[in-house]
Amino acid sequence: MDHERHGEAFEGDIKLTVVGERLRAGEPAPAFWLDTLDAGDPMPHSVSLADGAGRVRLLHVVNSLDTPVCHVGAHRFEQMAATLPPNVDVYTVSMDLPFAQLRWRTTEGVSHGALSGHRSEDFGRVYGVLLREWRLLERSVFVIDGGGRLTHVEYVPDQMAEPNYDAAITAARSAAT
């Protein structure tokens, strides 16, 4: 049976059920397999946690790139990514189809990666961000060091609020040294 956290996430008066246990900084990052599609690729391909071993990963998790706050957040991390060391990879993660993510990235001029959990709810469950009522992901940020350990974890309860960008960028810089 899935662990459920009732009312921890919300949008206005809508209380949402979050599926999965909360993660904490210092814990090993759970394995994941998500899809991505880059310009020129004929089909999406899978990206795993193990694929980035030795590199720092900043995962900016959003409901959907087609929502205003998620749109703003992805652009903000795009701007801030330019200030990060070269061994830091920034990804925006959502349940959007990889084709929609690529279209959005191309239209918006966003170059950092996008990862899609559209095939399965596994990422949402193991990272504790699956919103049961919406089958979308709770706004959150995870920084994973080169050894696969979480160095920063932020769950954003209010789905209309932005994450703490500065804390995430500081954690990514620290993990990169």
Active site residues: 70
The span from the CA of 6 to the CA of 75, in Å, is 30
Helix (H) or strand (E) holding 106: helix 98-108
Chain-centroid distance, C-alpha 96: 12
Q: Going by C-beta distance under 8 Å and a sequence separation of 6 or more, which residues neighbour residue 57?
A: 49, 88, 89, 91, 142, 143, 144
CB atoms within 10 A of CB 55: 15
